[in-house]
Structure 1
Amino acid sequence: MSAHRRPVPPGRAGRLRLRHSLGTALRGADLLERKLRLLLDRERELRRTAEEAGRVWGDRLAEAETWCVRGLLLGGEQALFEASPADRAEVDVEWTALMGVSHPSSASWTAPVRSPAERTPGNTAFTHAETAYRAAVRAAAEYSAARTAAELIAAEAERTRRRVRALRRHWIPRLTRELAVVELGLEEAEHEETVRRRWGASYRNRDGG
């Protein structure tokens, strides 16, 4: 909220402006709170997804390293180099938006392809290791996408929370106080005007009598 505001005009014009500003602030706070709830729900969902993908990643990586060690013991480093495909895996990240926040929605990957000229793993341990490493890469991509999305959503949720706090704790109370002062002044002015009219009517009636 801006710290610089136009001065409130006196009288009914000021009351009208303050009522409009207060109504706008209240509606804005309600909308921001709904946005905050949606963001927090989405963040929790993404955190759970990232946590699960992280566990899968760790399990598959540990499994792959175990099989790789066995393969090295059976065939040596040369067999590992010969069993590794020359092609590389490719990871594609798809993006979406929630309440104006752009974040990763999913991650897909293309596994490396072994050409017909390349040798296949020389023992079953390397075959199992290759399968586990592919699963680990897939889980790592999913974990990274979900974690990044959760962090982006969390950052927007924090910004939204600060805006709601500013409205609820500062802006709305200030407008409410200012409106109360203006309405009190108008009420007093109307009361004084009523008293003056009664006095005027009383004097006229007395003089006429």
Structure 2
Amino acid sequence: MTGARRTPPGRAGRLRLRHSLAVAQRGADLLEQKLRILRVEHRRLLSAEEAAARAWRDLLSEAESWLLRGLLLSGERALDSAAAGIVPAEVTVRWATSMGVRRPAVVSTSVPSRRPTAAAPGNTALVHSEAAFGRALRAAAEYAAAHAAAELVGAEVVSTRRRARALRRHWIPRLRAALDRSELALEQAEHEDGVRRRWAAGHERPPISTHNAIK
């Protein structure tokens, strides 16, 4: 414990140790309070992640089912022709910081319409497939954001728990032990100082005259 070893002796050292102990205890209380809030939030984010994952898998399965139908009806050439008119989608993620954790807060997805000059899909199944993949893309973005948020908050839970445990199990007990040693040393020093003062006071008394004593 570097701080305790460097503490000066005497009353100044004791005051410093008392202050350090109070700060450490307050820090542990705040970390444990933060940990409780983070755990509640982490459970909520895990539930949101699980729901987003289910939605994404369901929409992806629907899109793949329509795609398979379209391929069976018109073949791969029809798919290549339909894909030529698709414009790349855009995903925007807005981040927020809460309880010291920066995480994805809102995700938005823009799926542009097919180019006017592009050829239409070769059959109805491919039309449904294109729309279903657009919905699956949005769900995938929401799932990715939910997964990232849960992971980031989960990591902060672990880090906060570790710091609170280090204070409770290591730093605070060492500060208390150092404070006990400091107070014991002060008591011993004060006792020894009192003994020296009494001894000095006894030897400073004027000597008793033998002549006066005989009278």
TM-score (ref. length: structure 2): 0.84
Distance in structure 1 (CA, Å) of the matches to 2:20 and 2:135: 56
**Where does residue 105 of structure 2 map in the other structure?**
105
1:116 aligns with 2:113: no
Mark the runs of 5 or more structure 2 residues left unpaired by the alignment.
209-215
Which residue matches 1:159? 159
> How far apart in 1 are the matches of 2:52 and 2:114?
27
| Cα separation, partners in 2 of 1:83 and 1:93, compared to 1, 3 Å | same
1:106 Cα deviation (Å)? 2.1
Q: Which residue identity lines up with residue 93 of structure 1 in the other structure?
A: V
2:167 aligned partner, one-letter code = L
The Cα offsets for residues 79-129 of structure 1, whole Å up to 9 and x where unpaired, read as: 222333331111111111122222111221101321222233332222221
SS in structure 2 at match of 1:114:
coil
Structure whose CA Rg is larger: 2
The correspondence of residues 38-187 of structure 1 with structure 2, limited to 5 A, is 38-84=37-83, 85-187=85-187
Q: Secondary structure in 1 aligned to 2:63?
A: helix
CA deviations on 1:155-179 (whole Å, 9 max, x unpaired) are 2222222211111111000000111
The letter for the 2-side match of 1:167 is L
Q: List gaps (5 residues or longer) in structure 1.
A: none
Query: Which segment drifts farther, 58-67 or 184-193?
Result: 184-193
Using the TM superposition, give the Cα deviation of residue 200 of structure 1 relative to its aligned residue in structure 2, in angstroms.
7.2
Residues in 1 aligned to 2:159 and 2:117: alpha-carbon distance in whole angstroms:
55
Cross-structure match for 1:4: 2
CA RMSD of aligned residues (A): 2.5
- CA drift of 1:53 comes to 0.9
Q: TM-score w.r.t. structure 1 length?
A: 0.86
CA contact (8 A) 1:94 1:104 kept: yes
